[in-house]
């Protein structure tokens, strides 16, 4: 328990606005702390999956200490999404009382930097990009990266501790149970799509990503029993990702002031509409398949 209390103190150093330390402490202390004192721990498929994701996060954090690659910030978020997806699955199947709020600062801070990188890249595609704005965005990105790197030792400690105390269910679900979960999630995703709202499309993207991450975490025999057209689902969520990037960029640049803004946003909106049509077509194909 002393180690858990030490971790609470370190979490406070990260960002008090993002963390509810009482709930985090409760979440950690309710885990099976036997992991901390045991030399023999049986690792299930789910344990190994989460452990591999956490090790990848640790690896990317160590990489970022030396070199700030955009791909590393992207990978941090991908790995957290994978773990979050698996938690959603085991919460639904096993009523597993757990969550990964403790990884929220890593996910959110990396996301803010990632969004700056994407928007900056879009802006620089202009024939005559506004240099003052490009410099301002680069300055903010550097400042955010510097703060992120400063907290990397704390982030790594959190990741290591989470790997030690995470305890997934010991048995895999029955094929029938897994199939029910996927059918329910696909129905929910279809309802989001049919609403057609921007918020609905973003939620659809999140749900499809969750489905694909869970699907890839399951063994081959369960994957085959699901009869999921994984290729189409993957293409649809990829298109939704591109759509979301342009949609977010429109919102960001609409509040900025720079030369050729009107023409730039017009092009972004045209690209956004084009991606939306692609999504409609991909969804239609998925329904027919």
pLDDT tens digit sequence for 152-195: 999 999 998 888 877 777 678 899 999 999 999 888 887 777 66
Q: Which residue has the tokens 């103190």?
A: 9
Q: Does residue 278 share a domain with residue 180?
A: yes
69: left (phi > 0), else alpha (psi -120 to 50), else beta?
A: beta
Mean pLDDT, the chain, as a whole number? 81
DSSP 103: G
* CA gap 37, 4 in Å, rounded: 13
Average pLDDT over residues 216-220: 92
pLDDT exceeds cutoff 90 at 235: no
Q: Does residue 53 share a domain with residue 155?
A: yes
Q: Which two tokens stand for residue 139?
A: 């300055």
Contact 151, 13 (CB under 8 A): yes
Report the pLDDT value the prediction gives residue 23, as an integer from 0 to 100.
47
pLDDT tens digit sequence for 107-119: 999 999 999 999 9
Q: Does residue 216 share a domain with residue 111?
A: no
* CA gap 208, 238 in Å, rounded: 9
Query: Which one has a higher pLDDT value, 26 or 176?
Result: 176
Q: Does residue 179 share a domain with residue 161?
A: no
> How large a percentage of the chain has pLDDT more than 70?
79
User: Degrees (nearest 5) of the Cα angle 43, 49, 50?
Assistant: 90
Average pLDDT over residues 48-71: 93
Q: Which of 57-61, 123-127, 183-187, 256-260 holds the top average pLDDT?
A: 57-61
Range of the domain at 194: 175-288
For the chain, what's the residue count? 289
Last residue within a domain, chosen from 132, 165, 198: 165
Of 186, 277, 197, nearest to 226 by C-alpha is 186
Query: Which one has a higher pLDDT value, 20 or 212?
Result: 212
Q: Does residue 213 share a domain with residue 74?
A: no
Query: Which one has a higher pLDDT value, 39 or 142?
Result: 142
226, 232, 234, 235 alpha-carbon torsion, rounded to 10°: 180
Q: Does residue 197 share a domain with residue 151?
A: no
Report the pLDDT value the prediction gives residue 196, as an integer from 0 to 100.
62
Least confident of 179-193, 209-223, 271-285: 271-285
Flag whether 170 is in a domain: no
Q: Does residue 149 share a domain with residue 65?
A: yes
Report the pLDDT value the prediction gives residue 26, as an integer from 0 to 100.
42
pLDDT tier at 27, thresholds 50, 70, 90: low
Report the pLDDT value the prediction gives residue 34, as an integer from 0 to 100.
42
Last residue within a domain, chosen from 131, 165, 199: 165
Q: Does residue 191 share a domain with residue 159?
A: no
61 exposure class (CB count in 10 Å sphere: 0-12, 13-18, 19+)? buried
Flag whether 271 is in a domain: yes
Q: Does residue 204 share a domain with residue 61?
A: no
Report the pLDDT value the prediction gives residue 266, as an integer from 0 to 100.
93
Residue 55 to residues 76, 157, 172, 185, 238: CA-CA distances in angstroms?
Answer: 11, 12, 23, 28, 25
Of 208, 218, 212, nearest to 175 by C-alpha is 218
Query: Which one has a higher pLDDT value, 221 or 165?
Result: 221
Residue 6 to residues 11, 12, 29, 68, 165: CA-CA distances in angstroms?
Answer: 9, 10, 12, 29, 15
Q: Does residue 140 share a domain with residue 28?
A: yes
Least confident of 100-104, 112-116, 208-212: 100-104
Q: Which two tokens stand for residue 70?
A: 């955009």
Q: Does residue 236 share a domain with residue 154?
A: no
Beta strand extents in the chain (DSSP E only): none
Q: Does residue 263 share a domain with residue 132?
A: no
pLDDT exceeds cutoff 80 at 25: no
Report the pLDDT value the prediction gives residue 99, as an integer from 0 to 100.
65
Average pLDDT over residues 128-138: 88
Q: Which two tokens stand for residue 225?
A: 């029993």
Q: Which two tokens stand for residue 202?
A: 């973003």
DSSP 170: S
Least confident of 132-136, 146-150, 187-191: 187-191
Last residue within a domain, chosen from 165, 192, 214: 165
pLDDT tier at 15, thresholds 50, 70, 90: very low
129 exposure class (CB count in 10 Å sphere: 0-12, 13-18, 19+)? middle
Query: Which one has a higher pLDDT value, 112 or 257?
Result: 112
DSSP 227: T
Average pLDDT over residues 234-254: 90
Total domain count, the chain: 2
- Say which residues have a Cβ less than 8 Å from residue 271's Cβ, sequence separation at least 6: 246
Report the pLDDT value the prediction gives residue 234, as an integer from 0 to 100.
87
Contact 149, 64 (CB under 8 A): yes
């Amino acid at each position: 328990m002393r180690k858990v209390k030490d971790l609470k103190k370190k979490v406070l150093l990260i960002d008090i606005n993002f963390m509810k330390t009482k709930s985090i402490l409760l979440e950690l202390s309710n885990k099976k702390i036997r992991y901390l004192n045991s030399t023999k721990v049986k690792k299930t498929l789910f344990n190994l999956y989460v452990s591999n994701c956490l090790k990848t996060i640790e690896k990317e954090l160590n990489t970022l200490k030396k070199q700030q690659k955009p791909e590393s910030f992207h990978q941090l978020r991908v790995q957290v999404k994978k773990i979050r997806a698996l938690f959603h699955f085991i919460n639904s199947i096993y009523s597993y009382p757990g969550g990964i709020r403790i990884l929220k600062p890593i996910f959110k801070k990396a996301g803010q930097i990632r969004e700056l990188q994407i928007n900056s890249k879009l802006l620089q595609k202009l024939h005559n990009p506004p240099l003052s704005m490009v410099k301002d965005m680069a300055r903010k990105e550097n400042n955010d990266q510097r703060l992120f790197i400063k907290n990397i030792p704390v982030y790594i400690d959190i990741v290591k501790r989470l790997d030690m105390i995470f305890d997934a269910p010991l048995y895999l679900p029955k094929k029938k149970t897994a199939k029910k979960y996927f059918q329910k999630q696909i129905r929910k995703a279809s309802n989001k799509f049919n609403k057609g709202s921007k918020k609905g499309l973003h939620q659809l993207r999140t749900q499809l990503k969750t489905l694909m991450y869970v699907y890839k975490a399951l063994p081959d025999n369960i994957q085959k029993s699901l009869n999921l057209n994984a290729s189409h689902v993957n293409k649809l969520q990829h298109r939704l990702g591109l759509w979301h990037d342009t949609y977010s960029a429109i919102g960001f640049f609409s509040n900025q002031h720079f030369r050729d803004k009107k023409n730039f946003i017009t092009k972004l909106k045209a690209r956004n509409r084009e991606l939306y049509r692609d999504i409609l077509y991909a969804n239609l194909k998925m329904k027919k398949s």
